[in-house]
Amino acid sequence: MNAIITAGGVPKAEDLLFPYTNGHSKSLIDVAGKPMIQWVLDALCASAKIKNIVIIGLSESDGLSTSKPTYYVPNQGSMLSNIVVGFSKVQEIDPTANYIVIASSDIPDLKSNMVDWLIDEVEKEPADIYYGIVQKQLMEKTYPDSRRTWTKLKDMELCGADINVAHVSMATEHLDTWDKLIGQRKSPLKQAATIGITTLFLLATKQITLNDLVERVSKSIGIKGKALIWPWAEAGMDVDKPHQLEIIRKSLSKAHS
């Protein structure tokens, strides 16, 4: 399977991570002696199931090291545009590609065995998109002070993973809906409102289960979606705030000391 890494985010002056970047890409923030994205790239390169990697938002001049064929695409200005151009590049490199791994550059605790697990799960059942989730109790056990944003369902509390898989058709279909959902990804209630008022009500009142939510969203958009419950918190531990950066720095420094 091929993979893309989205690395186009450049914090603005009002962003809490701006002092760590000084106008450069967030993905290049130092984490335990490496650019943050390098840890993600290392995990993908060490995976037995990844063939090619496309990095969106950086260039060869950024000095990343890789052991697999790696291609660079300029930042397109929005997450959706970056994903679309990344999918296009993968299809150019590998016209036989059906599914593509989409990884954020800010989950540096990701490991290669986790990538392999994700692809194994995808191969079990066909779907259009596979969306990973991490349950609250696992996240708080692994990263007690992470302070994530939780979606409260009838059967669990969860946050989204930042590495997922989609069929290549997802880059050309339903783009208006995807644009709204991506723009509202930090607000589950706003996302539900995009899908429909009934879903919004059920989510707001915690009367909907994960399986029911996936079914409603899939039916509304006209796709087959599948939620993957991650057995590791690392996939959902993205670096959005300074305290999360320090947690990750300590975690990786300890693991590699």
Return the closest-CA partner of residue 5 out of 20, 33, 27. Answer: 27
Mean pLDDT confidence for 10-24: 89
Whether pTM exceeds 0.85: yes
Residue in the structure block whose two tokens are 């290392």: 42
Distance separating alpha carbons of residues 108 and 185, to the nearest angstrom: 20
Q: In sequence order, what E strands does 78-192 have?
A: 99-104, 129-135, 151-152, 157-160, 163-167
DSSP 234: G
Q: How confident is the model at residue 179 (pLDDT cuts 50, 70, 90)?
A: low
Tens-digit pLDDT profile for residues 215-230: 887 787 788 889 999 9
- Whether residue 139 has pLDDT greater than 80: yes
Q: Domain range spanning residue 184?
A: 2-255
pLDDT at 2: 98
pLDDT at 192: 55
Neighbours of 200 (CB within 10 A): 17
Question: At 40, which amino acid appears?
Answer: V
Q: How confident is the model at residue 79 (pLDDT cuts 50, 70, 90)?
A: confident
pLDDT at 98: 95
What integer best gives the mean pLDDT of the chain?
88
Return the closest-CA partner of residue 109 out of 245, 232, 252. Answer: 252
* CATH code, domain carrying 93: 3.90.550.10
Q: In sequence order, what E strands does the chain have?
A: 2-6, 30-31, 34-35, 53-56, 70-73, 99-104, 129-135, 151-152, 157-160, 163-167, 225-229
Domain count, the chain: 1
- 106 versus 176: the higher-pLDDT residue is 106
Q: Which of 15-24, 92-101, 185-194 has the lowest mean pLDDT?
A: 185-194
- Whether residue 196 has pLDDT greater than 80: no
